[in-house]
Amino acid sequence: MPHFNPLVRAYLRVSTPEQDVERSRQLLKAFAEKHGQFIAGFYLENESGTKLHRPELFRLLDDSLPGDFLLC
């Protein structure tokens, strides 16, 4: 059963130091604002997509409740 106040949460993953997580953060923030939403939390990961060790992804999933919106 969804809770009454769904939250928007954003997951950002980069795999190299050259990638710009801040640009991605601003794009997701602008998307949420365009739709009248506020991002309650950002979850930042610096891991290769081929690795299963992603503590921030699992923290996001643990924090999320039914009805929340996840932006990735």
- Note the pLDDT tens digit of each residue in 26-51: 999 999 999 999 999 999 998 766 77
Domain that holds residue 46: 8-71
Please report the sign of the dihedral spanned by the C-alpha atoms of residue 22, residue 25, residue 31, residue 36.
negative
**Does residue 36 sit within a domain?**
yes
Domain harbouring 21, CATH code? 3.40.50.1390
Active site residue 15: yes
Check: CB of residue 43 under 8 Å from CB of residue 72. Answer: no
**Does residue 32 sit within a domain?**
yes
- Options 15, 24, 48, 64, the catalytic residue: 15
Query: What pTM does this model have?
Result: 0.82
Q: 56 pLDDT exceeds 90?
A: yes
Q: Which of the two residues, 51 and 54, has the higher pLDDT score?
A: 54
